Amino acid sequence: MSAETYDLPPLEATGVPRARQMLERARWASRAFASYDRASVMRIVEAVTRVAEDRAEHYAEWAVRETGFGVVADKVVKNRLCSRGILDAYRDHDYVTHRVDEKQKIVEVPRPAGVVLALTPSTNPVSTLYFKVILSLMTRNAVVVSPHPFAKESCADAARVLAEAAVAAGAPDGVVQVVEEPSIPLIDALMTDERTDVILATGGVGVVRAAYSSGNPAIGVGPGNVPVLVDATADLPRAAAKLVASKAFDNSVLCTNESVLIVEESVADRFLREMSRNGAHVLDDAERDRVRDTLFPEGRFDTGLVGKDAAAIAAKAGVRVAPRTRILVAPFDLAVDEEPLAHEKLCPVLGVTRVPSAHRGIRTAAAVLRIGGAGHSAVIHSKDPRTVMDYAVAVNVLRVAVNEGGSTGSAGFNTGLAPSMTIGTGFAGRSSLGENLQPKHLVNLARIAYSSDVAERFPDFGAMAPWSAPETAVPAYPVASNLDPGSGSARPSLTTVPEDGTSELREELRRLIIEELNTLIRG
């Protein structure tokens, strides 16, 4: 059978050529960007942050409309926290200038990762995109964003807007790119290509495992299942208000939101009444069973209920609640794997179990984390520092929020933790990162180390400037001769190839075309 009887599929259908083109362009941009001085970098970051903040509401509305997850007002808050909030948190940090330690006779020179592949989730799409793009730019990295297919339109538009702002402020063309039509071949090609220097994987377990299996450096995070202990010493009204607000925030799509409430028996009734005053509906046993069956049909969480509000979940379960109900509280007896309510729930349903003492509550929290969420987060409301310490030692997590809501507290927005949308779970959670993702994780330090011999003089490096402002406002991306230089296109066609690595890219394209032809002929 001849190849002429078939129409050849578009080259981009395989995903691989498009991925390789994006990475080659990003590599070129990263090399140019790595020579910028700090003032130039911060000018670019300021411009991108300004645009991101200005469009926080626009993209919050778009993300909810596109995904069906969460609350617009809360996504606005997250978008602002992940734009202006991130810039304000790290404005005085320097990830560009070399550092001199005269006592140790060492000079540390920041070296960017290069090309960052940023995978973003459907639950927090634009806020995570903002966060990863701004971190990449702060550290002079180029970034290729691969959004979740459920949120591809809002994310693609946001990435394009940020890219335009970056280039207008002097960044190299291609420093921010986005996958507009995610596909398995394209994403696989991006993750496994040697031109990808680091993968930032935020999303489901499968996405994170794929990133770690790619052969490239990856920073991924594990799932949460956050226990919250309320002991007899807690400020009950304040704790109730904090807990309900946290669990209701953006309809509980953050992995840092509380999943299981463990409350000391002596204060349990009072605490649940306080929660009711703040918009919680405490389910009776019959209501609890209906909600449980609705959330976990055949024992598996119904992902169609992710980010839905409490009223919608109650209605689907056939439970009547007050119009202003913010969360549903579902009592259960034992924190065991067989109890669905002891598992993570990315919706405003909070499991609750009573314990006779704070000591027993600590053991129960540890049991919840054995079911899921190891390495992630935990919350405690208590005035007893001994209980807080015992809790932190016993629970297998790397962040414990005290007297604060977990959703934003463990993410560093209402606590002294690093503000972040990527929560490292460390060894216990099978993550390469043991803290909240920060700009420093996208930079290595090259160290110039002089002999420690006292006779060895250490020169004065303080006044040296290894980097400088770019000579031109926007370095031009080298394009093929058949691309109209006057078109103003920010995204070259598939025929575009950079001067550096041209033969390699062309050979790869040639090999792929031959493989397709051979497949058709054999068919």
Q: How far is CA 489 from CA 164, 173, 325, in A?
A: 12, 10, 50
Buried b / exposed e over 253-283, threshold 16 CB at 10 Å, is: bbbbbbbbbbbbeebbeebbebbbebbbbbb
Give the 3-state secondary structure of residue 69.
Answer: coil
Q: Which of 124, 352, 81 is nearest to 250 (CA)?
A: 124
**Burial of 482 (C-beta count, 10 Å sphere; 0-12/13-18/19+):** exposed
Buried b / exposed e over 451-470, threshold 16 CB at 10 Å, is: eeeeeeebeeeeeeeebeeb
Q: What is the dihedral of CA 329, 331, 335, 340, to 10 degrees?
A: -70
Paired with 318 in beta bridges are none
Q: How far is CA 173 from CA 27, 166, 182, 490, in A?
A: 11, 9, 22, 7
CB atoms within 10 A of CB 432: 17
Q: Which of 210, 161, 205 is nearest to 187 (CA)?
A: 210
Please count the helices (runs of H) and the strands (runs of E) in the chain.
17, 15
Query: Are 67 and 122 within 8 A, CB to CB?
Result: yes
Distance separating alpha carbons of residues 100 and 121, to the nearest angstrom: 39
Q: How far is CA 488 from CA 20, 25, 130, 195, 479, in A?
A: 22, 16, 25, 26, 12
The H or E element containing residue 402 is strand 397-402
Q: Which residue numbers are catalytic?
A: 255
Distance separating alpha carbons of residues 523 and 514, to the nearest angstrom: 14
Q: Which two tokens stand for residue 302?
A: 């119904």
- Tell me the backbone φ, ψ of residue 329, rounded to 5 degrees: -110, 120
DSSP 123-166: SSHHHHHHHHHHHHHHTT-EEEEE--GGGHHHHHHHHHHHHHHH
Residues in the chain: 523
> Taking the mean position of all CA atoms in its chain, how far away is CA 506?
34
Query: Are 419 and 85 within 8 A, CB to CB?
Result: yes
The H or E element containing residue 25 is helix 16-33
User: Hey, what amino acid is at 144?
Assistant: V
Which region holds residue 488: left if phi is over 0, alpha if psi is between -120 and 50, else beta? left
